[in-house]
Structure 1
Amino acid sequence: MTAFRDSPRQTGPGRTALLLVNLGTPEAPTRGAVRRYLGEFLHDYRVVELSRWLWCPILHFAILPLRSGKVARNYASIWMDEGSPLLVYSRRLAEQLQHALPEVTVRLAMRYGRPAIADTLRALEAEGMTRLLVLPLYPQYSASTSASVFDAVVREIGSWRRLPELRFVADYHLDSGWLDALESRIREHWDLHGRGERLLMSFHGLPKRFETAGDPYPRQCEAGARALAARLGLAEGEWLLGYQSRFGREPWLGPATDETLRCLAGEGVKTLDVVCPGFAADCLETLEEIAAQNAALFRAAGGGELRYIAALNDGPGHVAALAALARRHLQGWRHA
């Protein structure tokens, strides 16, 4: 028999909340904190779709002991005075969105780590929230990201006696405001530094079998990349698409970003601009993997300067785009 948790007694219309959710980050750039974070992240069946009997021994006795120290050092190389870049920029973004949307309560949560989704939802419930819009900060939908956020939200509110009205933003990869913000970010970079010989749009990778199973992620990455290239007036051959952050030995989406960099270096490209449209906020994968690790790889392969274009972070264009997106999804709800 299911035991439901008592809900606070409420009078009046209740409040509307916007829950922003990003992936998550360790609490500190230390081996122990990274191990806890990776343990939670890589234990999610949406992320690694393997039998727990097979996967858990590999994870806890091989991957976590071997990788936690290296990953902690990578985090230490990008850590800010205020903390992890992903959390710092996501928190600032939530604060700016609260100013842009005073009629709703805006909160930030992380799918893995803190602030946790369950804790944040319980705090919103205590504040009188009865209507909830969930906005995962993933422009492209994947079962490994957006669906995992949905799982965590439903797992928490499913235990409540009084359920809130619930809406969920699945993706926004062709949203005009988001594309406006990306276009503006790239043009600002070109105004300051000049235009590189190529523009590489690098997205986080996925195992190929996710696409085979029906995940729309690669199609959405490609559609958004083409829309952005068209806005920038780039012809075929002036821009490329790649997938980064491969893990394990199984086939992943291609072309791989690192292989693309080697090819471009071999072609004699000396200035390469790289943008990562799948990341709402700068993080380990953009600041360490692309701006540092892949820049070194490009030089070592005979290329020249790899110029990373910062994520939208808490920039005004990003705030305006997400505020407009939220307002469309909030239509018809009365806000206390």
Structure 2
Amino acid sequence: MSHLPPDHPPVKPRKIGVLIANLGTPDSPGYWDMRRYLNEFLSDKRVIDYPAWKWQPILQGIILTKRPFSSGKNYALIWDKAKDMSPLMVITMAQTEALRARLAQDYGEQVMVDFCMRYGNPSTESKVAEMVAAGCDRIVFFPLYPQYAGATTGTANDQFFRALMKEKWQPAVRTVPAYFDRPSYIEALAASVEEKMGDAELLVCSYHGMPKRYLMEGDPYHCQCQKTTRLLRERLGLPEEKIITTFQSQFGPEDWLRPYTVEEVAARAQAGVKRIAVVAPAFSADCIETLEEIEGEIRESFEHAGGESFTYIPCLNERPDHIEALADAVKENLAGWI
């Protein structure tokens, strides 16, 4: 920029940032890394909304003393030892690289693509700072949760906005909304089911749970999960009795969204269903809830109740049709910017 005076600070060429976000992961399955991660996660008021005076003594005095051991053992079962990363980190990195390559086909080097995690590393704040430093004066922020929930999309956006508060020159921003009913997402989800379902008698769509109270307070997550299942059923051409919606990962004493996956698969086995397939449409990448909970606890519940064939259908991860669906959503939100 030849028109700038000699003593002017350097100005980077303008770029647009695309920052995808996922939940996060501990740096290792070890006790202290697990404790730091769980403390950040379970201290989030979007996740646990009890008053701090009531919740923090329980969290700091009881939960964070014991749970890092049990959670660490579960993470150790699925940890990618060759890369020394959790599967969620490995997959998110692959998704980022694939999305970067896909968007480069249309926009060249005008768009900078990176990822962050809501909890743990790399932090949202660090990646926003990197994008601003690289010259991004506009950022599309994309939480990779197909269905909106305050405890997932909402808190990811919160953290993004908090990061923006620290920037002297704040970029213009757009946040990508939930994509649970995008035709390209449903098509990719259906294709993954068709490839793996085989002769299963029942398709179980297992979504991450949340307290029922959140639904009653206006969170749209439950309704968006139900619609995802309906759209998937219609695309697959399945009768209503061949596909069900369930919820997993309950925590604490409250009543959560029902039916609970771990109980429902056992009940179906006891009723004579021998072969089921389970898909997790709320997760964009395989993680502890799918690789350990579904493949472990939920599988065991079904088999111990008399079930004979349990098929887990992997998340969409870095499948080309999934990357294309994500790219479609990004390009829609880049409209007018590029």
Work out the CA distance in 1 between the residues paired with 2:181 and 2:326: 13
Instruction: Tell me the matched-pair count.
Output: 323
Work out the CA distance in 2 between the residues paired with 1:250 and 1:292: 24
SS at match of 2:247: strand
Whether the aligned pair in 2 keeps the contact of 1:295 and 1:305 (CA below 8 Å) is no
Supply the AA of the counterpart residue of 1:206: M
Work out the CA distance in 1 between the residues paired with 2:55 and 2:12: 48
Which contiguous aligned blocks of 4+ residues in structure 1 show a shift greater than 3 angstroms? none
Which of 186, 194, 198 aligns to 2:202? It is 198
1:296 correspondence with 2:303 = no
Q: Which position in structure 2 is the counterpart of 1:26?
A: 26
Alpha-carbon shift at residue 195 of structure 1 (Å): 2.5
Which of 93, 97, 100 aligns to 1:98? It is 100
Whether the aligned pair in 1 keeps the contact of 2:12 and 2:134 (CA below 8 Å) is no
SS at match of 1:64: helix
Query: Mind listing any 5+ residue stretches in structure 2 that lack a counterpart?
Result: 1-8
Alpha-carbon shift at residue 167 of structure 1 (Å): 0.2
Which of 317, 329, 338 aligns to 1:325? It is 329
Q: Which string of whole-angstrom CA distances, capped at 9 and with x for unpartnered residues, describes residues 98-141 of structure 1?
A: 00011311101000000100011111111001000010010000
Alpha-carbon shift at residue 56 of structure 1 (Å): 0.7
Supply the AA of the counterpart residue of 1:179: I
Work out the CA distance in 1 between the residues paired with 2:154 and 2:199: 37
Q: Which position in structure 2 is the counterpart of 1:117?
A: 124
Query: TM-score, structure 1 length as denominator?
Result: 0.94
Which of 71, 87, 98 aligns to 1:85? It is 87
Supply the AA of the counterpart residue of 2:256: W
1:311 correspondence with 2:312 = no
- Calculate the aligned-residue CA RMSD, in Å: 1.1
SS at match of 2:277: strand
Supply the AA of the counterpart residue of 1:188: E
Which of the pair has the greater relative contact order for Cα pairs under 8 Å at 6+ separation? 1
Whether the aligned pair in 1 keeps the contact of 2:99 and 2:327 (CA below 8 Å) is yes
Q: Which position in structure 2 is the counterpart of 1:274?
A: 278
Q: Which position in structure 2 is the counterpart of 1:3?
A: none
Alpha-carbon shift at residue 311 of structure 1 (Å): 0.4
Supply the AA of the counterpart residue of 2:64: L
Q: Which position in structure 1 is the counterpart of 2:35?
A: 35
Q: Which position in structure 1 is the counterpart of 2:11?
A: 10
SS at match of 1:255: coil
Q: Once the two structures are aligned, what percentage of the paired residues are identical? A: 40
Work out the CA distance in 1 between the residues paired with 2:11 and 2:43: 37
SS at match of 2:29: coil
Q: Which position in structure 1 is the counterpart of 2:48?
A: 48
Q: Which string of whole-angstrom CA distances, capped at 9 and with x for unpartnered residues, describes residues 28-65 of structure 1?
A: 11122111101000000011001111111110111111
Query: TM-score, structure 2 length as denominator?
Result: 0.94
Q: Which position in structure 2 is the counterpart of 1:157?
A: 164
Q: Which position in structure 2 is the counterpart of 1:62?
A: 62
